[in-house]
Amino acid sequence: MSAVPASSPRTGMASSIAIVGGLFFILGFFTWLNGPLITFVQLAFQVSEIAAFLVLMVFYLSYFFLAIPASWVLRRTGMKRGLALSLVVMALGAAAFGQFATWRIFPGALASLFVLGGGMALLQTSVNPYISILGPIETAARRIALMGICNKIAGILAPLLLGSLVLHGVGDLAAEVASADPATREALLSGFAGGIRGFYLVMFVILLVAAVAVWFSPLPELQAEQANAVPAEAGAAVRTSIFQFPHLWLGVICLFLYVGVEVMAGDAIGTYGHAFGLPLDQTKFFTSFTLFAMLIGYLVGLALIPRVISQERYLAVSAVLGVLFTLGAFFSHGYVSVGFVAALGFANAMMWPAIFPLAIRGLGRFTQTGSALLVMGIAGGAIIPQLFALLKHQAPEHFQLVFAALMVPCYLYILYFALAGQRAGRAHEG
């Protein structure tokens, strides 16, 4: 069932999709800054690789802790005002990170990323169900694929901009810092860290302008309980608890594992490449390769779903590709192995667009809570990459085995969800 009234003009739907696409662009930009931020943090704060991976852990754990509170906020504000509020919170987090990074106060920078992630948790909790129910739930994967294109174009740009404007010459600087006396080292690091303040100040202004634009935009206020309910004759009326939707809970696990493998392929690829001895001035751009592969994957998915293949079946195919590309990375070396990791972007592309609508399908008045639980699953981006960093530190010569041992089981579970898990408890729907 479509959430937009039948009388709504097609231009209204198009403008709503365009506005939401802009929000997904913002999400993508800040999400995929984390990869090159690991390089920045490790040098600017002079911390270990494991400590630098706290960038991912803090950022993605904010989703886990703040998604449910975000759903409470959205019940009071509504989806549209919640979207605007989320951008304001993100703006505050961005401004704070730029300042603490300039001061080289690591705990303050991490706390700022937690705030930034909290704003994104609020945005994710509202914008994903919003685009899912803006039209028929059966074609939600196509709309989310369009959003993914906006997201990944931003993701391609983010590391390129940060790499060019802030991380330019980072390899030479790292070598210079390593050989400098203490006073010179501090001067070099302070100058390097200070270069990120202007970047985040611009982001602060853009986010505030976007918040005002969304507040006064023509976006319709959607009611999830009307747009995403299973018809009463199908038996949905007897469901009185979120725990009566097993496909949702299986979807939460699936999304947790999916975000973990997505972040591994996107944000950890630089660390993976550097483990082969590849130079920092090259590895800082590797995230863009993964995101370019994801962009291609979105375009393919957009062309095929649902005309040629269902979103469930495409999810299964994507999971199989994930296993194959991971094994390709394991059995190769150097740039070829990195190429297989980047190719995981293609396999991952249509996973979120398929998992999210399949998991919230038929939740009705529980849609907002279910969406919040799914957003909590984004914490997989904190846990799985951190496990990689810890295990890689214990056995650096076997980092490819560690990578494969973490990735393959995740893709196998995603395959299970595509084939069977997403149908759990929904057999009566036909």
Q: pLDDT tens across 152-167, in order?
A: 889 888 888 998 888 8
Q: pLDDT tens across 296-355, in order?
A: 998 898 888 878 888 889 999 999 999 999 999 999 999 999 999 999 999 999 898 889
Decide if pLDDT at 5 tops 50: no
CA 275 – CA 223 distance, rounded (Å): 49
CA 218 – CA 193 distance, rounded (Å): 40
Crossing angle for the helix pair 54-103 and 106-133, to the nearest 10 degrees? 120
Q: What confidence score (pLDDT) does residue 167 get? A: 87
Cα-based torsion angle of the residue sequence 148, 151, 155, 161 in order, rounded to the nearest 10 degrees: 150
- pLDDT class for 232, splitting at 50, 70, 90? very low
The set of residues, in sequence order, having a beta carbon less than 8 Å from that of 356 and lying 6+ positions away, is 128, 132, 140, 144, 251, 255, 371, 374
Q: Which CATH superfamily is domain 10-218+244-425 in?
A: MFS general substrate transporter like domains (1.20.1250.20)
Q: pLDDT tens across 209-218, in order?
A: 999 999 998 8
Cα-based torsion angle of the residue sequence 237, 244, 256, 19 in order, rounded to the nearest 10 degrees: 10
Region of poorest pLDDT, from 116-125, 188-197, 213-222: 213-222
Question: How much of the chain is in helix, strand and coil states, percent to nearest 5?
Answer: 85, 0, 15
Residue in this structure with the two tokens 């010179």, named with its chain if needed: 184
CA 362 – CA 229 distance, rounded (Å): 5
Q: What confidence score (pLDDT) does residue 233 get? A: 38
- pLDDT class for 222, splitting at 50, 70, 90? low
For all residues of the chain together, what is the average pLDDT? 87
Q: How many helices (H) and strands (E) does the chain have?
A: 20, 0
Task: Give the pLDDT mean for 367-391.
Answer: 90
Highest mean pLDDT among 47-51, 126-130, 403-407: 403-407
Decide if pLDDT at 389 tops 70: yes
- pLDDT class for 176, splitting at 50, 70, 90? very high
Task: Give the pLDDT mean for 376-387.
Answer: 92
- pLDDT class for 79, splitting at 50, 70, 90? confident
Decide if pLDDT at 7 tops 90: no
Q: What confidence score (pLDDT) does residue 261 get? A: 96
Q: pLDDT tens across 282-308, in order?
A: 888 898 899 899 989 988 988 888 788
Highest mean pLDDT among 132-136, 190-194, 217-221: 190-194
CA 135 – CA 130 distance, rounded (Å): 9
